[in-house]
Chain A
Amino acid sequence: MSTPTAVSPSEGTPAIGTWLLSNPHVRMFQTLVRREFWEHRSLWMTPLVVSVLLLLCALLTHGALQIDASDSAEWLDPQIKSIVFALAQWGLTVPFYLAMMLVLSFYLLDCLYGERRDRSILFWKSLPVGDGMTVAAKVFTGCVIVPFGTFAIALVTDLLFTLIWDLRAVLGRTPELVVWDTVAFIKTQALMFFGLVISILWYAPYVGCFVLASAWVRRNVLMWVTLIPLLAVIVERIAFGTYYIYNLMVYRSGGIWTSLHLEGIFLKALTGVGQAAVISIPSVYDRVHIAPAFANIDLWLGVIFAGACFFAAARIRRYRDDT
């Protein structure tokens, strides 16, 4: 009985790697995801363009922050500097996520519609790829690769931006506002990472509706996803005098953040700087409770709803052709 029964981790890891590379389903899925980035170049170009623009700003702006001499002592306080540093880290990611939301909306609306518009669905369907696999690759691209890819690009941009800014400060060309603070950096990034995960799960029903519309609608997908909810709200108001649909949509837009009581946390995290008040992002991280967000039943109901939409989209695509 010399056959080893347990595989040591060092032997196990390459085996998984080889399995992943040689498994035809994994290879197919990987190819399908790459295909999404070939077709929708805006998915990867947008965050890169935002990154380049921000870095150009870091390189080319003059010391535009004019600091009042009377406040300068407070501004140059190391603790305040660290708060400003974290705030800058956070602020720099905002353009990334705004751009991502826009690009992803158009991507999701087009992902199962474009192939019917240009008739290439007949080519895609000539390949041995199931509808479930096709939809899964698109959803994975939109819900995992793009958001976390954007997070990674934003993080690298943050680092480069800080590096450039600090180098220029050393050379005396910009105010010495930013100092490196590792703890603040990690807390800020962690906060944004959790925010991103919660956003993906909370907004999944929107993703589900968009993908479903993309598979279902014969033409003009954008009109359907905007006009139908609008009409539903108006009809409900006129027919029943109620606002359930409207309230549901509002809740689905910001509800999770309300349940986290973020406003209160932000208020508590305000730090006085002179006459102004600045939010300390690391302090938001210390106060916020991430776990209850994942215990929110509505979050998971939304995820289940989105899953049902994806399933329906795959079923609809089954008999969709170029007509």
Chain B
Amino acid sequence: MTIPLSWYLVFAAALFSIGFFTTLSRRNAVAVLMGVELMLNAVNVNLVAFWRYLTPTDMAGQIFVVFVFTVAAAEAAVGLALMISIYRTRKTINIDEITDLKR
């Protein structure tokens, strides 16, 4: 018996929601970044699932996932570097205290 597509979609939606909740609720910037990663990976699951079930002959879904990985890696690198530099100047990475946009 094969696993139907909807299971994957439900799993991906759950993963995305957890990630989004993490992003919204956590005060720690590193945790927020981790939430973003979860959302990206949820999307990846969706992409792979759709590729496998709907268009297995076309490589586009797989390649798109590779792109997302790459961008996510770069984003994590830049994000963490930002966190470090913010921590160095402010001795905190609590994002409630980092409200410089409101000036």
A, B: real partners: no
